[in-house]
Amino acid sequence: MASIQRGRIKAGVPHPRGATWDGNGVNFSLFSAHAEKVEVCIFDSSGKQEVERFELPEYTDQIFHGYVPDLGPGTYYGYRVHGPYQPEAGHRFNANKLLLDPYARAHAGELVWNPACFGYKMESGDDLTFDDRDSAPFMPKCVVVDPGFDWRGHPGRNPIGWNRTVLYEAHVRGFTMRHPDVPEPLRGSYAGMGDRHVVDYIKSLGVTSVELLPIHTFINDSHLLDNGLTNYWGYNSIGFFAPDPRYAHDVANSLREFKEMVYRFHEAGLEVILDVVYNHTAEGNEKGATLSFKGIDNASYYRLLPDNPRYYINDTGTGNTVNLSHPRVLQMVTDSLRYWVEEMHVDGFRFDLGTILAREPNGFDNQSGFLKACSQDPVLGSVKLIAEPWDCGPGGYQVGGFPPGWSEWNDKFRDTVRDFWRGEAPAAELAPRLTASAAEFNHQGRRPWASINFVTAHDGFTLNDMVTYNDKHNEANNEDNKDGSSDNRSWNCGVEGPTDDPDITTLRARQMRNVLATLLLSQGVPMLLAGDEFGRTQQGNNNAYCQDNEISWVDWDIDESGQALIRFVRTLTKLRLEHPALRNTRFLTGRELDGVRDVAWINANGTMIDDAQWGDGTMRCFGMMIDGPAATADSAFRQDDSTFLLVFNAYYDAVEFTLPACKDGEVWQRVIDTNDPEPDETVVLPIGEVFTVTGRSVVVFSRG
């Protein structure tokens, strides 16, 4: 190994952070408030052999920096950071450990779990010991990149209005691994996800925005690898600026390949939303490995116990919590977000365990530094910001608690819809969920799209499994079926697992349509889980985070019942898109215009539901009448002269439902019936007529 001649190294600049190529050389910049010295290690093209090492010569405002001429894109590098190894004081410096650059734009190679990757003698189990083995042979490497990309006249992002948004949650690898129209070498990659057949299919569903599970570089947990499993979901980030190379067909050009995928989605008019994990890192607790932040400045990057900084605050349940109260750490996260918007052209973010990011030392604070930084930032203010509004720490459940400008996953919608359709929740509980959960979100000028409505997501049962299993079946995870939630609020319709019983299969298919209709016709923003549109199964596994195989991969061998369900979803999304009354920009409150309410709740007799009926915990059938003119009259958005009657019947038997009177209408036309999803004829009935609503079904009428 050679050392770069000292005269060759220039002072460089502290900004921007990371390794930045300017066409003539590379500027290196790394923040550490407590380090004594930083060395940059350069590796050969295989990433295995260290060929040069040099010390960053300058230290400005707690930032080490230096400039090396003649280095360029494709250079493999890592850091060694010198400083005190004093775990009891919160410091875990160990220059024997090669460290990943927090601002690296690309990575190459995968972590090989070895005791040398730990700052202490891992075999001893004592994190107060010091390990002097070199971790470089086992570490992935950072890569200097050429950020240039020809967007071919791409005009940049073309944001889709929140009131038109339909989210579609998908996994880059799992979505294409079994796709017959994607060339086999491209399956499971960014290139495969951007394949024309994939993009065209997603577009055909009527969704507008693809929400991708984490694509930031992440680490596979050692205990999973030991069990023949892997961290499939990717909620174990170690780099916040780089697309994970394992999803790249062309690893050397992973950055370019990701941009090409985004371009393809934008070309089709679809948005790209990234699921991001800034709440913790893959380094774990005091017994975890030293891979990056822990060895760069443990006391700055992580929240440590104030009275015993040897240990980590664990509000995430993963061993550590990123310290967003530190200005440089906050800067890193916001720099990352802006990078993905400005350089990678993504359209928004879903924040895993979002309440963590809003925590200050005193707990969750909706005026936290992070939330303030986002609210005032002109770049971040232009994209979609979606919080998962809970974590496992004290006071961690904060649905409705985020400030204006944010949308939130609404688990109250999920739980209530599931309970209603399994017969465990009355009409009075479902009604507020159909109107975007105003009690939680209708304040401070927030709009209905603050509520991200979902019934299924990557975590939990798929839609098919929700109507097929009462209990989780996670044996493949090798944890004795003890992992994953046992509170699934599911109903197997009479038999656990697959069955050939025609009555049960018919009921299950209708229940899936019921849930999809409820989801896609509710106020707020719906999120559909990829594959639910044709009844994908995970064989009852409700925690498939470690299953990078057929359990998680989307199976594109879709039978006729699945194709029929796809057609039904397209019917729902088309109806939603065409009628603003079904996706209002203001909360429906029952307010009147010219004697007509924007929303009216109807009982089976065709009259308004009164207080006594709302108090009836056994009421399972009711109607929701949305008057388009009244609902959209005071909105600057496009108005709608349609009126809809949505009838929800979770009762096991048929209900005779009298069609109510409505302004300027004499007849009702049936437009959706989950018991008759592809009708042969149009059904038109006069006001006052009785319509037989099949047990456990949804029927939608429009004013004729």
Catalytic residues: 352, 388
Place of tokens 């479902």: 430
In b/e form, how buried is each residue of 301-324, taking b as 16+ CB within 10 angstroms? Answer: bbbbeeeebbbbbbbbebbbbbbb
Q: Which helix H or strand E contains 580, and what residues bound it?
A: none
C-alpha 531/C-alpha 554 separation (Å) is 6
C-alpha 546/C-alpha 233 separation (Å) is 7
Residue 2, classed as helix, strand or coil, is: strand
Contact 37, 94 (CB under 8 A): no
Strand duo 348-351 + 271-276: pairing: parallel
Contact 496, 470 (CB under 8 A): yes
C-alpha 188/C-alpha 247 separation (Å) is 6
- Tell me which residue of 354, 403, 148, 335 sits closest to 256, measured CA to CA: 148
Residue 366: Cβ within 10 Å count: 14
Contact 587, 448 (CB under 8 A): yes
Contact 266, 157 (CB under 8 A): yes
CB-based contacts of 313: which residues, under 8 Å, 6+ apart?
Answer: 302, 303, 304, 305, 320, 321, 393
Residue 379: Cβ within 10 Å count: 13
- Tell me which residue of 662, 597, 615, 545 sits closest to 232, measured CA to CA: 545
Strand duo 271-276 + 107-108: pairing: unpaired
Contact 599, 435 (CB under 8 A): yes
Strand duo 37-43 + 50-55: pairing: antiparallel
Q: What share of residues in the chain are helix, strand, coil (percent, to 5)?
A: 25, 20, 50
C-alpha 125/C-alpha 127 separation (Å) is 6
Sign of CA dihedral 13, 18, 19, 21: negative
**Strand ranges across the sheet with 63-69:** 18-21, 25-31, 63-69, 58-60
333 burial level (CB within 10 Å; 0-12, 13-18, 19+):
buried
Residue 90: Cβ within 10 Å count: 20
HEC-encoded secondary structure of 619-668 = CCEEEEEEEHHHHHCCCCCCCCCCEEEEEEECCCCCEEEECCCCCCCCEE
C-alpha 569/C-alpha 514 separation (Å) is 11
- Tell me which residue of 519, 523, 369, 526 sits closest to 442, measured CA to CA: 523
The runs of H, that is alpha helices, within 318-390 are 327-342, 354-357, 369-376
Q: Which helix H or strand E contains 173, and what residues bound it?
A: helix 172-176
